[in-house]
Amino acid sequence: MKNDKWSNTPLSGLAEALRRKGMEPRVSPRPKRERTDEELFEEAMAGVREIPEFRKTPLKEPPASRPSRRKRDDTMEGLRAMRRLVQGKERVTLSDTAEYAEWASPEASGDIPARLHAGDFAVQDFIDLHGMTAREAEEALSDFLRGALRRRLACVKVIHGRGLRSPKGAVLREAVRKWLRGGLSKHVRAYATARGCDGGLGATYVLLKSR
């Protein structure tokens, strides 16, 4: 049996008293559940309706530009020239190609490279650098030019190839041209790409300075 004498409930009846005075105790609200992306999307799209006409919108293609008559004529002439070259009816002018190269020292006259390429100077000796490394080729070319000067030669030919079988391209050809107008220029008066009968783009004529 519960002893009322020792029971102590000081807050009993507090909630009832507060309700009577219009002061109900505050109850902390339960935290709201965060809505998922799908629920937010559905709420944002509420009331949106599909417009059937926009389901497939045709694209308007720009009008095709027609090449000018002059451009068409130039294109046809280029094709005809290419056909003549392939059929052997017309020779390639090496000096008009991107691989052609020429150079002249300051003391050489302006027409020397063109004359050199045209074959006005007889080739008196040549060196073939095929299969050499860059270092070997530079040493061999330097020794060859010094020997040619001692023999009082005026024009020689350097065979370097076009690098068509090399994955790096015409590395040796470009190196030879760099050496001729650089460290070896003290021996060189001018150089120019050889004629087709002498190796064409795979060889270079070198006109030596007189001692």
- Collapsing DSSP states into helix, strand and coil, what is residue 47? coil
Instruction: Give 61-106 pLDDT, tens digit per residue.
Output: 666 666 667 766 667 766 665 565 555 555 556 666 778 899 999 8
Q: Using CA atoms, how far apart are residues 204 and 195, in angstroms rounded to an integer?
A: 9
Residue 132 CA from chain centroid, whole number: 29
- DSSP conformational letter for 52: G
Residue 90's pLDDT is 56
Identify which of 188, 177, 210 has the alpha carbon closest to the alpha carbon of residue 106.
188
Tokens of 131: 């299969």
- DSSP conformational letter for 135: H
Residue 70 CA from chain centroid, whole number: 31
Evaluate if residue 16 carries a pLDDT over 60: yes
pTM: 0.57
- Collapsing DSSP states into helix, strand and coil, what is residue 157? strand
More confident residue, 18 or 154: 154
Residue 177 — very low, low, confident or very high, per pLDDT cuts 50/70/90? very high
State the average pLDDT over residues 2-15: 56
Residue 117 CA from chain centroid, whole number: 32
Q: Using CA atoms, how far apart are residues 110 and 125, in angstroms rounded to an integer?
A: 24
CB 204 within 8 A of CB 193: yes
Identify which of 120, 118, 136 has the alpha carbon closest to the alpha carbon of residue 194.
118
CB 162 within 8 A of CB 201: yes
CA distances from 102 to 10, 114, 133, 174 (A): 114, 8, 24, 12
Instruction: Give 112-145 pLDDT, tens digit per residue.
Output: 999 999 999 999 999 999 989 999 999 999 999 9
* Whole-number CA gyration radius for the chain: 46
